[in-house]
Amino acid sequence: MTRNLSSIKRIVVKVGTNLLSDRSGIDSQRIEQVVEDIVTLRSQGFQVLLVSSGAIGLGAKELGRTSAVKQVALRQACASIGQPILMSHYRAAFKRHDVVCSQVLITRSELNERKTFVNLRNSVQTLLDLGVVPVFNENDAVSTAEIGTAFGDNDRMSAFVASKIDADLLVILTDIDGLYTKNPRKEHDAVLLGEVEKIDDTVLSYAGTAGSVFSVGGMKTKLLAAKIASTAGCATIIASGYEKSVLSRLLAGEPLGTYIHADKRLGQRARWIINSSPKGTIRIDEGAVRALRAHKSLLPSGVVSVEGVFHEGDVVMVNEIAKAVPYYNSTEIMEMAGCQSKDIPRRLGKGKADVLFRPEDIVFLDHAE
Ligand code: GLU
């Protein structure tokens, strides 16, 4: 396998906080370098979207804080202070090249909801048609992990963005050269991997635990991001943002960083299902698992139990093997668990679906067809 860069048109570039900041605050020289590199790619005909972190760090510095901000509400306040500062730097840098940039702040719930997602997709498409570089960040002031609206890190957010807008390549720029077999800052025999075919448990183990961070989100979230991107048929490159003109060099074929191959491109609805946070779990028996694997619908007779509270049309887990979108809410499914389909009208009223969901409403985590 080699890097497949021949049919790339749309690129999402993610830059992390570490890369953009120095001791005094924002490293405006780095911003200028990233922007210049993006401008070069655009002049070569690529469409580029940027995902930039840095709002919380800049906000904290604006408030004169020197230590890490941990409390959620304070992080949100810092993001709200820092985001306009971040954008003013980008605006100034892009303006020098006569390029217009825009700010797009998103939370996970917007991508999870079909309507807001379609709106977002349309507005991003319009921005790209206008020749604008959209600069994304998480809308930290309104998203919190507690209520499930947060991505948690911009690595995964950048992959969701790449997936939603059908990007061909995601480039995650960080403060390390790529994925090593071990932590290169501790182990001398760590080897840099130039290419990864598929992200499996062995590859994930190279990144260590989430705690062994090399940069903001750590290597693990970068690999999870690459996995999300791969389901959208989008390859990922993790590379060092300290390399001069790294983006142009990567696209010219220089083997910098780690290239993670794309998987089969799932359809948008399947991607939406697989990338949404599940609201609950439907536990089913082995017979039902076999039926689902054989492209059959889920019948109430196969349901063993229901966990969590969800509405019809929400994404839920099916055991630990799949995600699905049922036609019924959690209370209704509990009510009909173990019943025959013919009993549904008697239990829940006439005119209701006689199955919980159909084959097109389920995606297996192993992506088996
Ligand atoms: N949204 C956060 C910020 O702008 C960054 C999250 C991350 O770096 O992963 O500061």
| Confidence band, pLDDT 50/70/90 cuts, at residue 369 | low
Task: Name the pTM for this structure.
Answer: 0.86
Token pair 């498409």 is at which residue? Answer: 125
pLDDT at 153 over 90: no
Contact (Cβ atoms closer than 8 angstroms) between residue 318 and residue 358: no
Q: Is the pLDDT of residue 52 over 90?
A: yes
Q: What is the mean pLDDT of residues 20-35?
A: 87
Between residues 34 and 113, which one has the greater pLDDT? Answer: 34
**Which mutation among 14, 19, 52, 56 tests ligand 1's pocket best, with the greatest number of atoms within 8 A of CB?**
56
Separation of CA 267 and ligand 1 centre (Å)? 29
Distance 350 CA to ligand 1 centre (A): 49
Whether 306 contacts 272, CB under 8 Å: no
Residue 114 pLDDT level (bands cut at 50, 70, 90) = confident
| Element containing residue 150 per DSSP (H, E) | none
Tell me how far the alpha carbon of residue 155 lies from the centroid of ligand 1, in angstroms: 9
Distance in Å, CA 34 to ligand 1 centroid: 17
CA of 213 to the centre of ligand 1 (A): 14
Atom of ligand 1 nearest to the CA of 78: 10
The answer on pLDDT for 132 being more than 70 is yes
> Which atom number of ligand 1 is nearest to the Cα of residue 59?
10
Phi, psi of 10 (to 5 degrees): -110, 125
Ligand 1, closest atom to CA 216?
8
Q: What is the pLDDT of residue 148?
A: 60
**What letters, b where the CB count within 10 A reaches 16 and e where it falls short, cover 73-89?**
eebbbbbbbbbebbbeb
The domains of the chain, with CATH numbers, are 10-271 (3.40.1160.10), 278-364 (2.30.130.10)
Probe residue for ligand 1, chosen from 15, 144, 216 as the CB with the greatest number of ligand atoms within 8 Å: 216
In the reported structure, the alpha carbon of residue 53 is separated from the centroid of ligand 1 by a whole-number distance in angstroms of 4
Rounded percentage of the chain residues whose pLDDT exceeds 90: 62
Q: How many CB atoms lie within 10 A of CB 309?
A: 11
In this structure, are residues 341 and 300 in contact, taking their beta carbons and an 8 Å threshold?
A: yes
**How many percent of the chain have pLDDT more than 70?**
95
- pLDDT single digits (tens) 222-251: 999 999 999 999 999 999 999 999 999 999
| pLDDT value, residue 18 | 85
Alpha-carbon distance 14 to 270, whole Å?
A: 24
Q: State the chain's mean pLDDT as an integer.
A: 89
pLDDT of residue 4: 85
What is the pLDDT at residue 287?
A: 96
Q: How many helices (H) and strands (E) does the chain have?
A: 14, 15
Span 295-348, pLDDT tens digits: 999 999 999 999 999 999 999 999 999 999 999 999 999 998 888 888 877 777
* DSSP 8-state code for residue 101: E
